[in-house]
Amino acid sequence: MATSQTGPQEELQLIPTNAGGRSFAGPPKALQSQVTPTDLFYVRNHWKGAPEIDIESYRLSVGGEVAQALSLSMDELKSMQHRRYQATFECCGNGPIPEYWAKQTRSVMEKVTGHGIMGNAEWVGVSLADVLNMAEIGPNAVEVMFEGADHGPDEVVGDPEEVTYERSLPMEKALHPDTMLAWEMNGEPLTPLHGYPLRLVVPGWYGMCSVKWLAAIHVLDEEFKGFYQIERYRVMNGPDADEFYTYLTGMRVKSIITDPAPGDLVPVGDYVVSGAAWSGESDITRIEVSTDGGETWTDARITAPRSGYSWTRWECDWAIPAAGNYVLMSRATNDKGETQPMEFPNKWDGMGYGNNMVFRHDVEVV
């Protein structure tokens, strides 16, 4: 079986997204393995670097609509029952926007080609539910809000001038046993950029829900209306819709081709195309591949079903008849019967979030 040529072994490294040194995408080849190495796992921060946290004095505070307010050290958290699973993270700004649309789209992940604002990692921590149960949630609880230790002026135009990274979850997702307070990523303590010493992991939901550098947990008796909750990470329902916004939660059904990687030169002959597919909390049931720009489709084989909340890996044989330029595509369907759309679903929106369209993947065969 043929493999693609990549030239001399390239040094893989994170790619700045032109967002002022705040954020980095993983290189396309980092998405070829089941688990994304931590040093190649994307970084999406609203302010540059990571807040400094003194581990000796660090306490996670839990308060609000609870009978028993808590102040927990890392040692206390680590003495509770551990959870461990893989979870795929995707920033809702992941995925190139088609040329015709890119010019009008205001995305903070400017000029990223490829799909590297995502990755799959193994996380270890405790169930958030165990901590909330210890605090005894009161009868008026509606949502749980997570306060990060990072703050400053908002990155886009500096307005608001001072805001903290805070997000909330509905009770149902907050109390789901798989929603985790994690201190370990891929067998190591969290790195500063990924939220040391403690972050939330909201498996199956877009990345912005998983608050890093957790300072406090607030159980609320009303819906949270903070800036990063209601002014960001939403999509317009349509130019004339009655309801204006949908707030993104679970990751939409999506797939990517990871081999050949962009820029690989592929030889004529038999080739195995491979990639990943995921769909939030749902299972992937089908992946189809086209090697002729969407004219005809062939079913791909699932080679690794999801582990916990990881992506599903797949491959598909490609008998390449001749040299030339080919347009490959992959299209996933989940167990609810939802299939990736052929076009960007929120064209009118201007932000580019939640793009789960079938992408074109250009390949040069030599």
Ligand X SMILES: Nc1nc2c(c(=O)[nH]1)N[C@H]1C(S)=C(S)[C@@H](COP(=O)(O)O)O[C@H]1N2
The verdict on 208 binding ligand X (CB under 6 A) reads yes
Per-residue tokens: 130: 């165990």
In the complex, the smallest distance separating the C-beta of residue 107 from Mo ion, rounded to whole angstroms, is: 11
The verdict on 112 binding Mo ion (CB under 5 A) reads no
- Residue 246: CB atoms within 10 Å: 16
Q: What is the DSSP string of 254-280?
A: EEEEEESPTT-EE-SEEEEEEEEEE-T
Name residues whose C-beta falls within 8 Å of residue 172's C-beta, 6 or more positions apart in sequence.
none
The 24-53 site mask, x for binding ligand X (CB under 6 A), equals: -----------------xxxxxx-------
The verdict on 361 binding Mo ion (CB under 5 A) reads no
The verdict on 275 binding Mo ion (CB under 5 A) reads no
Among 27, 207, 275, 354, binds Mo ion (CB under 5 A): 207
The 172-201 site mask, x for binding ligand X (CB under 6 A), equals: ----------------------x-------
Among 208, 216, 256, 300, binds Mo ion (CB under 5 A): 208
Phi, psi (degrees; rounded to nearest 5) at 49: 75, -155
How far is Cα 48 from Cα 192, in angstroms, rounded to an integer?
12
Q: Residue with structure tokens 């992940």?
A: 109
Identity at 147, one-letter amino acid code: E
The 80-109 site mask, x for binding ligand X (CB under 6 A), equals: ---------x-x------------------
The verdict on 333 binding ligand X (CB under 6 A) reads no
How far is Cα 144 from Cα 57, in angstroms, rounded to an integer?
24
Beta strand 15-16 with 24-25 is: antiparallel
The verdict on 168 binding ligand X (CB under 6 A) reads no
Per CB under 6 A, residues contacting ligand X are 41-46, 89, 91, 148, 150, 165, 194, 207-208, 210-213
Per CB under 5 A, residues contacting Mo ion are 44, 91, 207-208
